[in-house]
Structure 1
Amino acid sequence: MSATPRTLNLPASKSERRTRLRSIIGGSAGNVIEWYDFLAYSIFSIYFSKAFFPGGSQTAQLLNAAAVAAIGYVVRPLGSWAIGALADRRGRRVALSLSVAMMSVGSLIVALTPTYATIGVAAPAVLVCARLLQGFSMGGEAGTSATYLSEMAPTGRRGFFVGFVQVTVVMGQLVALALMLVLQRLVLTPTQLEEWGWRIPFAIGGVLAVFALYLRRGIAETDAFERHDTGGATQQAERGSLLVLLVKHRRQTFWSIGISVGGTVAFYTFTIYLQKFMVNTTGFSRNEATLITTIALVIYMFFQPLFGLLSDLIGRRPVMLIFGIGGTFLTVPLMHALGATHSALTAFALNLGALAILSGFSSIHWLVKSELFPAKVRALGVGLPFAVVSSVMGGTTEFLALRLKNAGHEAWFFYYVSACAAVSLVTYLLMPETRHRSIIDEEAH
């Protein structure tokens, strides 16, 4: 990889194509590591909660750890705003390097912080600071990495390449789960995991994030940013401006929110809550539910670039309508069928069907948003609306589902998911098709 990053036009040689591919890989690899680091906290909290929150029941300790985890989600919009604005003003490469560096520091802090028994209340205080860093980093990472890949990918295969953004999200989760299984079954005893073994995933994540920082320091800046980097004083002043985003590009901002509402709720429902639903409602054991959902998630990963490629061939809107129509009209019967089945194979098929519908959103929503905004506010416009929707609606999805079930109105949640998908469906029907009217392409001419 070249030591000096440079701007890339459409590749005319094998060397330029190789550099472009390395830049895409560098951006994607960093995203996997970021998601691994961010999700490792929740996955391993069952082991380290006692170290930071002693006394009381295990449930109380886990609730304290979960409260700190929630801080990471609350601060995501702030990170999306700050790092997204930096990406629009100083470059995608600089912002991506900063986000992964912050994630590395956050993970290493968790790995190295002494326990409550050693430093008292300072231990949970330091943990909060580490989680703030992680949440801030993830808020900026999501929109900026999607913007970078959208601008770097070849025009005719942009959907295919940006589909890998969602692959990195799921892969980060699966890597963290796989490490947990290895530590549990092959390396450490439960006592060792509780005493010191929980530090291992955070140490690994911190080191991997440093490696991702090394990769990202060598990636190329995008043409789309470089072209706007030479604009006049007015254009320079508008770059990364929240006011410009909300005033001059308010229609695209509302579209971005509308695109995200249904998909965000469906994502948290079908990738996170469904496992608990199959245990609490359908009656599967925890091991059965985990196996079904994990296998379905692995297949779901491969759906993303394929659905992205489909959008390159037939357009973004038809692919989004797969989710809009499917999410609106099929969620309720699908969830009822899943709640009534006693067959693991049927449950798997229904789970995979839900994820296939979701893929109409998750595979290309980052790209569609990137194609709506001009380069001067693209990273901010892609990341901030989604971060707000994710914090407000994504973070409450599971809570709402469990509250309605506890109140004896579980089916109301199914209609809630459908209603959110209907909001996105209306958005898809009203907004322009971006495959042939992409601002990314218009700016290139």
Structure 2
Amino acid sequence: MNIIAQPSAVPVQLDKQTANKRMTAGLGGGVALEWYDWNVYGVMAAFLSPHFFPSDDPTTSLLAGLAVYGAGFCARPLGAVLLGPVADRISHKRVMLISVTAMAVCSLLISLLPTYKDLGVTAAIALLIMRLIQGFATGAEAGVANAIAIELAPPGKEGRYLGLIGGTFIQLGSLGSSLVAFLVSASVAPEAMREWAWRIPFAVGGVLGLLIIYLRTTVPETLINRAMHRQDESSRIQESTGGVWKTLWSVRLSLLAVILVIGSVQIANYAWNTGLPNMANTVFKEDSTYVYGIMTLMVLIWMSTAPFVGAFADKVRPSRAFALLRLLLIPCFFLTLLYSEKGIVTFFFVTVFGGAIVGFNMALYNFIATTLMPRAVRTTGVALGYALGVSLFGGTSPYLLVWLQREHIAWMFPVYGSLIALLSVLVYQIAKKRGCLYIGE
């Protein structure tokens, strides 16, 4: 007789109408910290890279630093594969705590890491290892956070609640990384920023992690016990890891849609959050204080509009809102061509006005991805789709943007981004017509 694996944590029946604010703070705070720790490397890459990848050409150093940035994404699918089934079968909460702890510890270590001058190539290897660990740990984070959020969301307001968790809190993390970078840059001399002050934002992320770990202990276990005994294979908790993968294979069209829904918007996200500011700081030698100030304004717009975008999706239907906003990314990508030479006004226009469209899409993609996965494999499916989408498309985006600009073929970047955006809408519509939406419509 088969014995169904029991969750190690005591499940809690949740009242979705009165979701505890402290639970939301713990869930959203962890999401914010993940994005802070992940983005702060990209924000600081222009200052960090010369210390670990010295070169006479600053662009070459930056490209090496961005390559490590991209390498961290490669570990995300492995984290999703190994930790996703653990979350779906045993405990959402434990996987969340593993993720946030690893992110915080690695950020703290990066803030203390000796440079190439001290350790030679070993310093670069150590930096790479820290990023790989962070990538592995966050591999299941998106899936777990979305699975918990959809359980906590009030009925009929899933889009608004996911907009809060997957939009506002994500942007709170991005805002934190930009704001801390801005404050540090404005507080020290340019020489100090280049020499040692770039370490401060990493240290801040490590210290904040202690608070978030505590808040996450207050989030309930949402692996509901009654789901274990459902006859529906797509809803009940699976007996084994093999059962998770079997069920996920049966919804492989949904997985492909998740990869493209997430991957497409991450091309834009990392182009605006990492590629453009690093190109401004390194290639065009803009004043970094202005650059970080503009980035902070952009993220404030993203953060403040996210719940309204989610509410809009609840009102007009998620599928319609997704198609409309995703197609608006196509002209948005071509705005990057305007920033082809030094000019802080042009940078402001592309970043803030183009970035607003990117932000609208960022507010919605987590909700759309979650609707595509059945409950039994929601964490694994969203986590794996997220990891593959971000690794294949998002992690390479800043490198491509800077490299294509250097090679004088910058036009290829918006063409590439537009094609993936269009493909994501087409595959999503096919999945919808084949009944692959599992939450609302």
TM tier, shorter chain?
0.7 to 0.9
Partner of 1:9: 14
Work out the percentage of aligned pairs sharing the same amino acid. 28
Q: CA 1:11–1:318 in structure 2 vs 1: closer, same or farther (change >3 Å)?
A: closer
Preserved contact between residue 170 and residue 297 of structure 1 (Cα < 8 Å): yes
- Using the alignment, how far apart are the partners of 1:364 and 1:295 within structure 2? 20
- Using the alignment, how far apart are the partners of 1:406 and 1:437 within structure 2? 42
Q: CA 1:40–1:403 in structure 2 vs 1: closer, same or farther (change >3 Å)?
A: closer
Partner of 2:32: 32
Measure how far apart 1:111 and its partner are. Answer: 3.1
Partner of 1:317: 319
1 or 2, which has the higher helix percentage? 1
Within-5 A mapping of 1:4-403: 7-11=12-16, 17=18, 19=20, 21-49=21-49, 52=52, 62-115=62-115, 122-164=122-164, 165-186=166-187, 188-189=188-189, 196-222=196-222, 225-229=224-228, 235-238=237-240, 243-274=245-276, 291-328=293-330, 330-331=331-332, 344=345, 351-403=351-403
Measure how far apart 1:119 and its partner are. Answer: 5.5
Within-5 A mapping of 1:429-440: 429-432=429-432, 439=438
For structure 2, list consecutive stretches of 5 or more residues without a partner in the other structure: 1-8
Q: CA 1:189–1:407 in structure 2 vs 1: closer, same or farther (change >3 Å)?
A: closer
- Using the alignment, how far apart are the partners of 2:279 and 2:43 within structure 1? 18
Measure how far apart 1:216 and its partner are. Answer: 0.9
Letter in 2 for 1:7: V
Q: CA 1:338–1:306 in structure 2 vs 1: closer, same or farther (change >3 Å)?
A: farther
- Using the alignment, how far apart are the partners of 1:396 and 1:51 within structure 2? 22
Measure how far apart 1:129 and its partner are. Answer: 2.5
Q: Deviations over 1:141-199 (max 9, x none)?
A: 2222122212221122211111122323332232122222323333x455555665444
Measure how far apart 1:242 and its partner are. Answer: 5.9
For structure 1, list consecutive stretches of 5 or more residues without a partner in the other structure: none
Measure how far apart 1:308 and its partner are. Answer: 0.3
Preserved contact between residue 327 and residue 357 of structure 1 (Cα < 8 Å): yes
- Using the alignment, how far apart are the partners of 1:441 and 1:316 within structure 2? 8
Preserved contact between residue 404 and residue 412 of structure 1 (Cα < 8 Å): yes
- Using the alignment, how far apart are the partners of 1:199 and 1:286 within structure 2? 16
Deviates more, 1:258-267 or 1:51-60: 51-60
- Using the alignment, how far apart are the partners of 1:339 and 1:54 within structure 2? 25
Letter in 1 for 2:200: I
Deviates more, 1:371-380 or 1:319-328: 319-328
Q: CA 1:251–1:227 in structure 2 vs 1: closer, same or farther (change >3 Å)?
A: farther
Preserved contact between residue 170 and residue 301 of structure 1 (Cα < 8 Å): yes
Preserved contact between residue 296 and residue 348 of structure 1 (Cα < 8 Å): no
TM-score, normalization by structure 2: 0.81
* Residue correspondences, number: 429
Measure how far apart 1:293 and its partner are. Answer: 4.7
Letter in 2 for 1:228: A
- Using the alignment, how far apart are the partners of 1:115 and 1:168 within structure 2? 32
| SS of corresponding position for 1:432 | helix
Letter in 2 for 1:10: D
Preserved contact between residue 92 and residue 225 of structure 1 (Cα < 8 Å): no
- Using the alignment, how far apart are the partners of 2:395 and 2:132 within structure 1? 16
